[in-house]
Structure 1
């Protein structure tokens, strides 16, 4: 039996129907299956492993993976629990009965919560607008100790730039420990009024300082996507980490 303390974290999954199956599985039908069958099945895969799931929709209807779910794990190690292998990926609602990974594309990230900043006026509910930011920094570029530079930039410069944007509510950082994807994930929450209704693109990084432009210019990859909250499963007020750890700006 492990005596290590639980480490809260995230399981982040975006998905969409593959082009070859869009006629056989219209997106609305995929949404019904995912929302009403798969999310409840996954949350029930292991008792107590997941407290909450937040379901988002991409603001860009052309995005190949417009469906997003973020799951809160009180202990992210539970993601590897064998019970999740028993969650069925087949269903009569899917073409040929499934499995779903035959007819849909999935992009997943998971890992521990690092830190959260929030506005002093922010309540416990998630913001209705979400900007996800997946970064793969170039740790081999100058300055030599880029890890320290990156952390100092994030704390001293970047979070200040983000928090001054109209409608900002909260930013939460995570380390993505799943192989093959960007190492860093941030969730920026905003009020509905923060973006125009027809906005689908976030041009570059949020912020315009010299250090921010340097990080943007040297990063191996950066992807920012705007989403809108659609549905909450479970306790929508649960924080990503310990609530007393949140930094108030």
Structure 2
């Protein structure tokens, strides 16, 4: 298929990436968690003013420790340092116990700076990280800390994106660099989850399922093998769509 680079909207674009799990399933069911997330938390986030879109995803692998992923595109990543963002409520009277979400769920929260948006030539989306025709069916969220940043970047731009764009159902690829990570808003210095990978790639696909054989074939080149074998750290998650929202109240 092939694709082209596109610009993200905003002066300092990026995403808020949140991978979460329920820690007290005897107190909080997946259904209640979804209700809080989509009927309380996302509206509260939109009220903060700096975030206009949200998408939620669920892992396809039942053994994954953190089954839920939420992604929020931002036109200005600096918004995440503001008092308005930090004031987003984390308590709700309908939550059990202390009514604090952090007491019954755990959040791996990361801020990512935009690096690259690669889409099919002629794509309808313009200067955005969530396209107008709606949420894709799957996202592969892949984190990497390469041993050679320059070779990694060249590999992606000169070879790997072209390979991935030829896979059945490919919608687009977004690439980011980590700027900040924290677990459950713990104070800096408290024990956190392990250091996340330096770079994030999100490959989006449409279809009833992912083409496993084609995806496997995209890793057969010598350049790919060289980069993957020398990675200092990797992480991989495959998620299917749950819901997508925009600040105006619509579900794109």
Q: TM-score, normalised by structure 2?
A: 0.79
* Superimposed CA distance per residue, residues 134-179 of structure 1 (whole angstroms, 9 cap, x where no aligned partner): 11222xxxxxxx2221111111111122112111110010111114
Tell me which residue corresponds to 1:246: none
Aligned with residue 20 of structure 2, among 12, 15, 24: 15
SS across alignment from 1:96: coil
Tell me which residue corresponds to 1:209: 221
| Mapped partners of 2:15, 2:122: distance in 1 | 24
Change (3 A) 1:194 1:93: same
Tell me which residue corresponds to 2:150: 148
Change (3 A) 1:173 1:94: same
* Superimposed CA distance per residue, residues 161-198 of structure 1 (whole angstroms, 9 cap, x where no aligned partner): 211211111001011111432110111011114527xx
| Mapped partners of 1:64, 1:205: distance in 2 | 27
Change (3 A) 1:235 1:24: closer
* Superimposed CA distance per residue, residues 194-241 of structure 1 (whole angstroms, 9 cap, x where no aligned partner): 527xx8xx98895221111111111122122111122111179xxxxx
Deviates more, 1:94-103 or 1:24-33: 94-103
Return the offset for 1:120: 2.8
Change (3 A) 1:222 1:115: same
Contact 2:13-2:74 within 8 A present in 1 as well? yes
- Counterparts of 1:78-93 in structure 2, within 5 Å, are 78-93=79-94
For structure 1, the 5+ residue unaligned runs are 139-145, 237-249
Contact 1:129-1:227 within 8 A present in 2 as well? yes
| Mapped partners of 1:37, 1:64: distance in 2 | 24
Return the offset for 1:103: 1.4
- Counterparts of 1:74-113 in structure 2, within 5 Å, are 74-113=75-114
Contact 1:58-1:66 within 8 A present in 2 as well? yes
For structure 2, the 5+ residue unaligned runs are 1-9, 125-130, 182-194
Contact 1:54-1:70 within 8 A present in 2 as well? yes
Aligned residue pairs total 217
Aligned with residue 25 of structure 1, among 1, 9, 28: 28
Tell me which residue corresponds to 1:247: none
Q: TM-score, normalised by structure 1?
A: 0.79
| Mapped partners of 2:218, 2:136: distance in 1 | 17
SS across alignment from 1:88: coil
Change (3 A) 1:235 1:164: farther
